[in-house]
């Protein structure tokens, strides 16, 4: 199998996977530099880090969340996830994070003052707000178990209009052998399109090297076919994407 190269990103990625049938940890570290700040005429601001999206409770402050997609060892699934945050940095200016709004407000509320959601209790808090992280959830792509979740490196102190962020967040995924993940190995693929897609999908592409020890999908022996494509020779190339999708 082709070994995936490390790719440059907004986060430094670290992973180590000793082969074992026992439970283990997968560690990926994300690093953040000073965010871009956009302030609108109404005085509210949004923070933007690379590879983040805005999220939060409706009417409460909107935070930049970083989604995670971490490749796990073959036959494993996530059992727990933890976030170690380090390197807190204050942003040296007053900032009021914009209240999170519903993506699609009701028709009756459009154009009215009540359409703008603002939670006064949240914005009068004298304590730092650090939204909870999410995960772990294990999904599969062609036999590869991938854990997903999200977190934000930012924090907000509403009573003082102060905002800061952690420059480093280490995500530690606890993994255990999984029957479902073992069954997924029957769908394992190592062809070039699969590797290319994984390279752009996961946050720890170097972990794909762990699958070098598996030569291919674990399938029953035999010459069985599930699909047959019948077409003219002139249209053969048009069906290659369909063929690759099913194989």
DSSP H or E run through 242: helix 240-246
Quote the CA–CA distance of 64 and 45 in Å, as a whole number. Answer: 12
Q: What is the mean pLDDT of residues 217-224?
A: 52
* pLDDT tens figures, 129-160: 999 999 899 999 999 999 999 999 999 999 99
Query: Is the Cβ–Cβ distance between 172 and 82 less than 8 Å?
Result: yes
Q: What is the mean pLDDT of residues 212-241?
A: 74
Q: What is the mean pLDDT of residues 181-199?
A: 89
Mean of pLDDT over the chain: 85
Q: Which one has a higher pLDDT value, 116 or 5? A: 116
**Closest residue by Cα to residue 98 from 32, 150, 154, 40:** 40
Q: What is the mean pLDDT of residues 150-172?
A: 98
In DSSP notation, 180-232 reads HHHHHGGG---SHHHHHHHHHH-S-GGGGGGGGG--S----SS---S------
Give the number of other Cβ atoms within 10 Å of residue 139's Cβ: 13
pTM (whole model) above 0.85: no
Task: Please tell me the predicted confidence (pLDDT) of residue 132.
Answer: 95
Kindly give, in sequence order, each residue whose CB lies less than 8 Å from that of residue 179, ignoring residues fewer than 6 positions away.
none
According to DSSP, residue 244 is labeled H
**Closest residue by Cα to residue 75 from 178, 146, 173, 1:** 178
According to DSSP, residue 17 is labeled -
* pLDDT tens figures, 103-113: 765 555 455 45
Quote the CA–CA distance of 155 and 148 in Å, as a whole number. Answer: 22
| pLDDT over 70, % of the chain | 81
Q: Which one has a higher pLDDT value, 138 or 221? A: 138
Instruction: Find the range with the poorest average confidence among 127-136, 197-206, 219-228.
Output: 219-228
**Closest residue by Cα to residue 97 from 55, 52, 146, 142:** 55
Task: Please tell me the predicted confidence (pLDDT) of residue 17.
Answer: 40
Q: What is the mean pLDDT of residues 16-33?
A: 75
Instruction: Find the range with the poorest average confidence among 60-64, 79-83, 121-125, 235-239.
Output: 235-239
Rounded to 5 degrees, what are φ and ψ at 19? -70, 130
**Closest residue by Cα to residue 30 from 72, 77, 69:** 69
Q: What is the mean pLDDT of residues 18-38?
A: 84
């Amino acid at each position: 199998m082709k070994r995936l190269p490390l790719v440059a990103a907004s986060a430094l990625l670290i992973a180590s996977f000793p082969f074992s049938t026992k439970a283990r940890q997968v560690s990926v570290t994300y690093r953040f530099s000073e965010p871009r700040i956009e302030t609108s005429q109404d005085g509210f601001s949004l923070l933007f880090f690379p590879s983040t999206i805005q999220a939060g409770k409706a009417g409460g402050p909107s935070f930049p969340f970083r989604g995670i997609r971490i490749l796990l060892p073959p036959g494993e699934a996530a059992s727990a996830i933890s976030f170690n945050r380090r390197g807190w940095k204050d942003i040296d200016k007053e900032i009021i994070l914009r209240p999170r709004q519903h993506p699609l407000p009701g028709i009756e509320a459009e154009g009215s003052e009540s359409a703008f959601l603002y939670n006064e209790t949240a914005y009068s808090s004298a304590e730092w707000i650090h939204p909870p992280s999410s995960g772990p959830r294990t999904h599969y792509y062609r036999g590869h178990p991938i854990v997903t979740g999200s977190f934000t490196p930012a924090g907000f102190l509403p009573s003082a209009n102060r905002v800061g962020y952690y420059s480093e967040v280490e995500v530690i995924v606890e993994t255990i052998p999984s029957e479902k993940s073992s069954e997924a190995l029957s769908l394992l693929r190592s062809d070039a399109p699969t590797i290319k897609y994984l390279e752009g999908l996961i946050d720890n592409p170097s972990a794909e090297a762990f699958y070098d020890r598996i030569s291919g999908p674990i399938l029953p022996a035999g010459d069985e076919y599930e699909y047959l494509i019948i077409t003219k020779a002139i249209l053969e190339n048009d069906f290659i994407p369909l063929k690759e999708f099913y194989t």
